[in-house]
Amino acid sequence: MSAEGARPPLADACSLLYDNESWRAYLERFTPHAPEYLDVFSRSWARFFGVPHDRYRAALDDGGAEQAIGTLLPPGRPPIDLDALLAERAAQGVVAEIALGSMARLPDGSTVNDRLLAGTAAYRRPGRERVWVWAGLTLGGTDDPLAELSRTAAAGARGLCVIPFLDGVEADDPRFTPVFGAAEDAGLPVWLHTGHHFAAGRPTGLGSWRLVETLARRHPRLVIVAGHAGWPDVMEMLLTAARHRNVYLEFSSHRARTMPAPGSGWAPLLHHARSLARHRVMFGTSAWVNPQPVGVLADEVIALGLAEEITAEWLGGTALRLLAAEPAAS
């Protein structure tokens, strides 16, 4: 399989398809809970939004998060052309996008989930779907995540997204059992942020493989996609998937070209590619972290030199089979 012109179908299991207001809401979620993200990823933010890094850096250092976000998303910034974006990605081989949402509020009172569902409606036609919206839920906040689950599922959401380190809660706390139980009963998969995070004020263990293990035992029919594959505890997450048939690993934010390097933490995934990991791994971009064209990131997976059928599984096959499973009636 050559990298150019021979990519298998790509499914992005961590796609962010936001308009300008939704991006602002996304960035502002970091401000109170994980401001380190605006610093650690300063070059990524600047490149993704097309702003000179020194200008963004000066805004962050001199004016803080609000000024830095304003530099990335100034008043009058041209609207994002979703049609053009999706056409460009389709030209690189993307056939499916799992678009992750959020309960964050927008100026008109709606949520990012609402805006995402409305903006992608043309790409969610039954039988011709290109985009699957997985609505974001906030656990432990003032808004009711169970009500949001029901509301967004009725509006067309096909899955859910939970980020424990931003919520500052243990997602396996029994008080959230009704939320995950409702997702299980409705056949709604959950993308769960797992592994390392940079929020210095939040415990390291939020989103560990142990959380996935607990949720998988408690809700055996619930499909759990471990976002970022639980890195650096990839072996533990892979073994969790081996014990629970509905657990998958998704490696967005990490570039495949770094995986073979000694000490990268990805050796278990490559070592077990033909066995444990064969049908349990998904490709994702989380585009702002590594703002390269999606085809570049996919070609790095191809360059790993795995068997063609395994590469095809990781890049799209596994996710497409998951997406083809219809959820139960709400």
Nearest CA to 170 out of 208, 206, 136 is that of 206
Reported confidence tier of residue 126, pLDDT bands at 50, 70, 90: confident
Percentage, residues of the chain above pLDDT 90? 94
Sheet holding 281-282, edge to edge: 10-15, 94-100, 131-137, 159-162, 190-193, 224-227, 247-250, 281-282
Task: Name the average pLDDT for the chain.
Answer: 95
Q: What is the average per-residue pLDDT within 167-194?
A: 97
Residue that is written with structure tokens 């990012």 in the block: 112
Mean pLDDT (whole number) for 30-56: 97
Average pLDDT for residues 183-197, to the nearest whole number? 98
Give the chain's length: 330
How many percent of the chain have pLDDT more than 70? Answer: 97
Residue 243 confidence (pLDDT) above 80? yes
Tokens in use for 271?
């070592």
The DSSP string of 209-237 is HHHHHHHHHH-TT--EEEEGGGTT-HHHH
What pLDDT is recorded for position 6? Answer: 81
Q: What is residue 154's predicted lDDT score, i.e. its pLDDT? A: 98
pLDDT at 329: 39
Q: What confidence tens digit (pLDDT) does each residue in 264-319 have?
A: 999 999 999 999 999 999 999 999 999 999 999 999 999 999 999 999 999 999 99
For position 127, what pLDDT does the model report? Answer: 84
Residue 327: what pLDDT? Answer: 57
Residue type at 229 in one-letter notation: A
Question: Is the model's pLDDT at 2 over the cut of 90?
Answer: no
Which region holds residue 76: left if phi is over 0, alpha if psi is between -120 and 50, else beta?
A: left
- Give me the mean pLDDT over the 82-94 stretch: 97
